[in-house]
Amino acid sequence: MLVVAATQAEISSFVSGLGRASVVGPRVTSFQGVGGHHIDVLISGVGMVATATWCSRVLSTNRFDVALNFGVCGSFRPEIFPGAVVHVVSDRLAELGAEDGDRFLTIQELKLLGDDEFPFTSGRLVNASPPALGPLASMRPVSGITVSTVHGSDESIARVTQRFSPDVESMEGAAFMYACLVHGVPFAQVRAISNMVERRNRAAWKLDEAIANLGVVARQILES
């Protein structure tokens, strides 16, 4: 099993419950987990470039039964509140395209990539066959966008909401999914809501609660 997180902090509570550890490569630590499961943990770094690069490096040199991406994200939906843990089943590279005056043209609208050109499905990265792990089935499935600059103004939030109608946003999710689809590894992107997508307001964030809840769910997935 491969577990991917952008930062150590996001999976600190999960990793603390694992067994003996040994460093097996750059950014990768191997653990002997619950029930004798062999778990490699990759701390990819923040952002799409780092995530895509390190995931592809690890996936091209090792064989894994499943890959899991654990992290935090922001929510566009008031009903998906901070502290909740969700399963991101589709994701978009929201900034991949071009501006045309006030319009935004996706890479597919520019005819530089087909809507269903692998690994895309209707312009999205879709997890059509997630691993058969019990906790995943009981989690809320959501659609995400992946961005280099998180949204923090009323105007940009309104534009991206109208354009893609996303539930959540992260800085790494689509890159992880892209790498797993290319390498043919069963995967799941699991994220805890740390904040609402709004003008930056750290006082309203529930980062500690999100990380704690993510750790509980990650443990349940591992035990399943």
Q: List per-residue pLDDT tens for the chain, 224 residues long.
A: 999 999 999 998 888 878 777 888 899 999 876 666 789 999 999 999 999 999 999 999 999 999 999 999 999 999 999 999 999 999 999 999 999 998 999 999 999 999 999 999 999 999 999 999 989 999 999 999 999 999 999 999 999 999 999 999 999 999 999 999 999 999 999 999 999 999 988 888 999 999 999 999 999 998 88
Alpha helices (H) along 31-95: 48-61
Split into its structural domains, the chain has a count of 1
Q: Say if residues 18 and 39 touch (Cβ distance below 8 Å).
A: yes
Range of the domain at 54: 2-223
Q: Say if residues 73 and 170 touch (Cβ distance below 8 Å).
A: yes
Q: Could you give the CA distance from residue 168 to residue 171 in angstroms, rounded to a whole number?
A: 11
Q: Where are the beta strands (DSSP E) in the chain?
A: 2-5, 21-25, 28-32, 38-43, 67-75, 85-93, 97-100, 103-106, 125-126, 140-146, 168-170, 187-196
Q: What pLDDT shows up at residue 23? A: 82
Please, which residues bridge with residue 196 across strands? 75
Q: What pLDDT shows up at residue 146? A: 98
End-to-end Cα distance, the chain: 13
Q: What pLDDT shows up at residue 34? A: 60
Distances (CA, A) of 9 to 54, 119, 171, 223: 18, 30, 15, 21
CATH number for the domain spanning 158: value is: 3.40.50.1580
Q: What pLDDT shows up at residue 37? A: 72
Q: What pLDDT shows up at residue 20? A: 72
